């Protein structure tokens, strides 16, 4: 009597089922990894944006802390709604610094760019006045210009005189105005972020100016 030996193996249906299960597990694993990568990238982008914002605000505060009142210019701190100009102490004299909000080239809800321009440090009154008057022709592409933040829809600056905050623009004279304004004892910055900037709402920062 002869015995037949049948080789053990998988049927085609079993192989297909196993491949289907492995495919499902692979897709689930990929989705999990993809979610982790997306979360990491979003966290890194958010951290980088926060660090940049803090760096820019630190520069803003440093400029205000170094404001130097001088009779060489019409006003040592002036805001016209679009740009804020100030004279500050530098390592080799005094310099004019301009902070300006420029609209995006394509317009829309993307918001504009907040720029900072610093003129050369000078020691003469005529040179400082020339740099101050030149700042009124600021276009945003001059040498020494730095694009600090983007996605801003608007900004406002308030000055603290006496016991009240007032809009700096309402009392800021023009470049050739004869009346000088006393430096405020504090400056309040309000930045409004536009859609797609990654930041929402308004940011307010108060800076006290030294005596």
DSSP codes joined into one string, 114-145 = EEEEE---B-SHHHHHHHHHHGGG--S-STTE
In this prediction, residue 162 has a pLDDT band, given cuts at 50, 70 and 90, of confident
Task: Read off the pLDDT of residues 112-154 as tens digits, 9 standing for 90 and up.
Answer: 889 999 999 999 999 999 999 988 887 666 677 788 888 888 8
Classify residue 201: in a domain, yes or no: yes
Classify residue 4: in a domain, yes or no: no
The pLDDT of 64-70, averaged and rounded, is 93
For β-strands 83-90 and 77-79, DSSP reports them as antiparallel
Better-scored residue on pLDDT, 14 or 85: 85
Classify residue 187: in a domain, yes or no: yes
Task: Quote the pLDDT of residue 177.
Answer: 47
pLDDT above 90: percentage of residues in the chain:
36
Better-scored residue on pLDDT, 196 or 101: 101
Classify residue 145: in a domain, yes or no: yes
Q: Is the pLDDT of residue 176 over 50?
A: no
Query: What domain count does the chain have?
Result: 1
Inter-residue contact 70 to 94 (CB < 8 Å): yes
Classify residue 165: in a domain, yes or no: yes
DSSP codes joined into one string, 16-54 = HHHHHHHHHHHHHHHHHHHHHHHHHHHHHHHHHHHHHHH
**What is the extent of the structural domain holding 171?**
66-208
From residue 78, give the alpha-carbon distance in Å to each of 22, 87, 102, 182: 68, 10, 17, 10
Classify residue 36: in a domain, yes or no: no
Q: Is the pLDDT of residue 21 over 70?
A: yes
């Amino acid at each position: 009597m002869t015995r037949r030996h049948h080789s053990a193996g998988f049927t085609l249906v079993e192989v297909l089922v196993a491949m289907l299960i492995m495919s499902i597990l692979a897709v689930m694993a990929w989705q999990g990894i993809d979610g982790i990568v997306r979360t990491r990238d979003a966290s890194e982008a958010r951290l980088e944006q926060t660090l940049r914002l803090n760096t820019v605000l630190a520069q803003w505060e440093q400029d205000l802390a170094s404001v130097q009142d001088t009779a060489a210019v019409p006003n040592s701190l002036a805001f016209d709604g679009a740009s804020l100009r100030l004279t500050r102490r530098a390592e080799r004299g005094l310099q004019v610094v301009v902070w300006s909000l420029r609209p995006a080239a394509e317009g829309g809800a993307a918001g504009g760019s907040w720029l900072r321009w610093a003129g050369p440090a000078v020691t003469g009154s005529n040179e400082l006045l020339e740099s101050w008057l030149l700042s009124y022709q600021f276009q945003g592409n001059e040498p020494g210009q730095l694009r600090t933040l983007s996605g801003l829809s608007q900004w406002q600056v308030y000055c603290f005189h006496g016991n009240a905050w007032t809009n700096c623009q309402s009392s800021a004279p023009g470049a050739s105005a004869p009346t000088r304004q006393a430096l405020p004892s504090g400056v309040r910055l309000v930045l409004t972020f536009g859609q797609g900037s990654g930041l929402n709402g308004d940011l307010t920062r108060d800076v006290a100016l030294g005596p």
